[in-house]
Amino acid sequence: MPKTKPNVFDGQNITADEFFKTHWQRSPYLFTGTNLDLSCLPDANDLFKLAAQQQVQSRIIYSEDQRRYQAIYDEPEAWQQVLDFKPTLLVSDIEKWFPTAQRLMDGFPFIKNWRFDDLMMSFAPAGASVGAHTDHYDVFLVQVQGSRQWSYDSVPLQDAKMVADSELAVIDNYQAQLSHELQAGDILYLPPEIPHHGISTSDDCITCSIGLRAPSKSELITAVIETTAQNMPAQDRFKDSVQSNNHDASIGAHEISYLKAQLQSLSQLNDQQLAEYFGQFVTGYRLLDDEQSSDLIINQVTKTISWKKSPFAVFAYHLTTDNSSVTKAQLFVNGETYHVSKEFAQTLCNQAQFKYLNSKDEFFAELIETQAIIPA
């Protein structure tokens, strides 16, 4: 029998269904002693090496008074200069630059692939912190090595006062409701806007933050309106009322009615159109460019047997049924739409590796040229 991949719910006192009903995007939950494969993640030396690479985003966060926090960006060599202030090194997009780290996300199969944003890892000595703060998205805080004390609330903090003269956004005089010390293998889930404050309690503390992609409503609505506007004919313009016009500068009922009609037209979009707008948006949202050169030209495609999705690419799909009751799919890759079979879309999106299909020469070649898929 194939080996079952570790799951964050293995050995826990809660099932995935119970978690979604009682905690997901509602309240924090602490997973203790999980059996996820943490060996796939970089160690402290690896983190500093990654931070030294030009394309990798990193920060060193420290505070001289444990109240006001500041950051040094993309200069890991500055670590020794601020060592007296108990700094924290943070490295973003670990799964893109250290590909084996993608195995960690196998432990969260209940979350849609396109919802994963990035793995951010931190290394810190005892007593280090980045200050009390909130995030606008769901996050799983995985203790990889050493220990960290997490203090947090069960509900969002109302009217939080921020430290006025801090370079980074930090909650002033935060008094937490709950506190737990996490050991390696423990995972703290926090919904959006829950205040939390982590302090390293060992000199070898490594924490991995799994952040989920969560566009704001304004970003999503703006994207829909912009996409809709691009498909409108340029000659379709505002027209005055047939009533006689006066010469003042007023905006009247006609103008308001015209604007209402344009906004109401958005509600006439069908499910397939909305799925396309949503799929293009979420798979193209805040993409990180992969500047690595690709020598895989079309005539080399058949030389590679197995393929996998690039860690820099985001995939999603939406199933549709045509007039002949055949189920097809809209496949979304990095903000682009492709019309493919249901089986092909699901294979590409759901399988870790897949074979090259000769019947898809042109489409596969395009994905290879754009480096959306790479050799396994």
Tell me, yes or no, if the pTM score tops 0.85. Answer: yes
So what's the pLDDT on residue 297?
46
Strands 354-355 vs 306-309: parallel, antiparallel or unpaired: antiparallel
- Residue 197 CA to chain centroid, in angstroms? 21
Q: Are 209 and 140 in contact (CB under 8 A)?
A: yes
E-strand spans in 224-369?
A: 306-309, 315-321, 327-333, 336-341, 354-355
The span from the CA of 269 to the CA of 314, in Å, is 25
Distances in Å between the alpha carbon of 31 and those of 88, 236, 258, 339? 24, 56, 54, 40
CA dihedral 299, 301, 304, 309 (to 10 degrees): 150
So what's the pLDDT on residue 265?
87
Give the residue from 84, 174, 80, 179 showing the smallest Cα distance to 127: 84
Distances in Å between the alpha carbon of 349 and those of 21, 318, 336? 26, 11, 14
Residue 105, classified by CB atoms within 10 Å of its CB into exposed (0-12), middle (13-18) or buried (19+), is middle
The single residue listed with the structure tokens 């047939």 is 242
CA dihedral 336, 337, 342, 345 (to 10 degrees): -10
Domain ranges of the chain: 16-212, 282-375
The span from the CA of 174 to the CA of 28, in Å, is 17
pLDDT along the chain (376 residues), means of 10: 78 96 97 97 98 97 96 98 98 96 94 92 98 96 99 93 95 97 99 98 98 90 89 86 72 90 88 93 81 50 75 94 81 93 90 69 79 86
So what's the pLDDT on residue 304?
64
Q: Are 224 and 266 in contact (CB under 8 A)?
A: yes
So what's the pLDDT on residue 302?
57
The amino acid present at 304, given as its one-letter code, is T
User: Can you name the residues that pair with 140 across neighbouring β-strands?
Assistant: 189, 210
Topology adopted by domain 16-212:
Jelly Rolls (2.60.120)
Tokens of 13: 């006192």
So what's the pLDDT on residue 290?
59
So what's the pLDDT on residue 1?
42
So what's the pLDDT on residue 359?
46
